[in-house]
Amino acid sequence: MNVLVLNCGSSSVKYQLLDMARETVLSKGQVERVGMDDGILSHQTCKGVKKRDVLPIKNHAVAIKVILDTLVDKEVGAVGSLSEINAVGHRVVHGAEEFAGSMLITAEVKSALEKNIPLAPLHNPPNLLGIKAAEDLLPGIPQCGVFDTAFHTTMPPHAFLYPIPYSLYRERRIRRYGFHGTSHKYVSERAAHLLGKEYKDLKIITAHLGNGSSITAVDGGKSVDTSMGYTPLEGLVMGTRSGDIDPALTYHMVVDMGMTIKEVNDLLNKQSGLKGVSGLSHDMREIEQAMLDGDEGGKRAFDMFCYRLRKYVGAYAAAMNGLNALVFTGGIGENSPLVRWSVCSNLSVLGIEVDKEKNESPAKEKTISTPASRVSVMVIPTNEELAIARDTAKIVREMA
């Protein structure tokens, strides 16, 4: 079975075509600058064939048409015809409380997603456009939705509620939803597999550290707390997002500093985090380089990033009353020995002990803790596309 995974953002569509019999990627790529006359297609196949093209991409439907045409192209394609695409798996950012797992997309699912647009105004509209375009272009092919929020629907009320009037939850559904769920689930399951233990018997903390970062407490295979909240702004220090701040700062910025609420929102989402604190860059590679070159801003941002992450590890170990494994993933988690070292070398209170050489070894998937460490510290590359394709293939097989 071949599954096409689509990840539709506001101005881009990323794709992967996977052969699920072997769990291999046949082809992958992306269309950027959706909505522009100079859209960019970048495509490659497992055989190393590559294509880059600049062309008008009026909307998401055009982007998906270009992707499908490229996938069946005689020279650069991966399959002979569209009939070799057996299912489509869509990454959907916000499933709210309705979707505790991946679903076959039906009219009811689409209307629930429409209803959730106010919860994810930037993400759910392009996700819906992608679903509708794929349905039109691949009629009769099953389409499945895999939700970023689904893994976190197991959080108990004391973790997902905010300490504000309960009526705001009842009437406006204001609560913690959490994101990156597909990644947290994938790497925590993989950690259990690598440890050779039952998922249900483990207490695992997963740190997904990329441009957006979040950390999750997974107790017995269930997400019991996570750092992102009603929106992806809450929690850890991120590339350009602040993470946790005193909520009264927003009042101060508007009332005393004369900013508009839109400017405040922009400041917290786009001008803060590593970028705002360092005054240099949102990119951890550049932050680390600046720090090593003696730049104060780089060091300030790096230290804050690691310190706040460490605080969350401590909090989640306490929340679960125990910890068997700490997993690093995402661009920073997978590739930055410096961040991992800085976080873990100050966690001996939890019995965490990292081996310097293992931490710096080039292996992609590895255990970096010492044999004496009470907690296994692991680096596990995330693979959200594979997780989406697996869920999609499972749903389609169950339909047969």
| Residue of 38, 69, 73, 148 marked active site | 148
Half-sphere exposure of 373 (CA within 13 A, CB side): 22
Nearer to ligand ADP, 283 or 355 (CB): 283
SS3 sequence of the chain: CEEEEEEECCCEEEEEEEECCCCEEEEEEEEECCCEEEEEEEEEECCCCEEEEEEEECCHHHHHHHHHHHHCCCCCCCCCCHHHCCEEEEEECCCCCCCCCCEECCHHHHHHHHHCHHHCCCCHHHHHHHHHHHHHHCCCCCEEEEECCHHHHHCCHHHHCCCCCHHHHHHHCCCCCCCCHHHHHHHHHHHHHHHCCCHHHCEEEEEEECCCEEEEEEECCEEEEECCCCCCCCCCCCCCCCCCCCCHHHHHHHHCCCCCHHHHHHHHHHCCHHHHHHCCCCCHHHHHHHHHCCCHHHHHHHHHHHHHHHHHHHHHHHHHCCCCEEEEEHHHHHHCHHHHHHHHCCCHHHCCCECHHHHHCCCCCEECECCCCCCEEEECCCCHHHHHHHHHHHHHHHHC
* Residues 273-312, interacting with ligand ADP (CB under 6 A): 283-285, 288
Nearer to ligand ADP, 29 or 330 (CB): 330
Nearer to ligand ADP, 192 or 284 (CB): 284
Q: Give the interface segment with ligand ADP, choosing from 13-21, 329-337, 357-365, 385-393 (CB under 6 A).
A: 329-337
Taking the complex as a whole, how short is the minimal distance between the CB of residue 267 and ligand ADP, in angstroms? Answer: 20
- Sign (positive or negative) of CA dihedral 118, 119, 121, 126: negative
Annotate each residue in 227-256 with x if it binds ligand ADP (CB under 6 A) or - if it does not, as one string. Answer: ------------x-----------------
Nearer to ligand ADP, 95 or 330 (CB): 330
Q: Is 266 a catalytic residue?
A: no
Q: Give the interface segment with ligand ADP, choosing from 19-27, 75-83, 208-216, 244-252 (CB under 6 A).
A: 208-216
Taking the complex as a whole, how short is the minimal distance between the CB of residue 239 and ligand ADP, in angstroms? Answer: 6
* Residue among 343, 348, 329 nearest 387 (CA): 329
Q: Give the interface segment with ligand ADP, choosing from 15-23, 109-117, 265-273, 332-340 (CB under 6 A).
A: 332-340
Taking the complex as a whole, how short is the minimal distance between the CB of residue 201 and ligand ADP, in angstroms? Answer: 29
CA distance linking residue 307 with residue 313, whole number of Å: 10
Nearer to ligand ADP, 146 or 350 (CB): 146
Q: Give the interface segment with ligand ADP, choosing from 75-83, 136-144, 326-334, 391-399 (CB under 6 A).
A: 326-334
Contact present, 364 and 382 (Cβ < 8 Å): no
Nearer to ligand ADP, 90 or 340 (CB): 340
Taking the complex as a whole, how short is the minimal distance between the CB of residue 280 and ligand ADP, in angstroms? Answer: 12
Nearer to ligand ADP, 364 or 397 (CB): 364
Among 154, 269, 335, 342, binds ligand ADP (CB under 6 A): 335
The answer to whether 332 contacts ligand ADP (rule: CB under 6 A) is yes
Nearer to ligand ADP, 9 or 77 (CB): 9
Show the tokens assigned to 321.
């009353």
Taking the complex as a whole, how short is the minimal distance between the CB of residue 80 and ligand ADP, in angstroms? Answer: 32
Q: What is the dihedral of CA 60, 61, 66, 69, to 10 degrees?
A: 150
Among 130, 145, 181, 212, binds ligand ADP (CB under 6 A): 212
Taking the complex as a whole, how short is the minimal distance between the CB of residue 274 and ligand ADP, in angstroms? Answer: 7
Show the tokens assigned to 249.
């700062």
Q: Give the interface segment with ligand ADP, choosing from 73-81, 102-110, 209-217, 298-306 (CB under 6 A).
A: 209-217
Which residues bind to ligand ADP, rule: CB under 6 A? 210-212, 239, 283-285, 288, 330-332, 335-336
The residues that are catalytic are 148
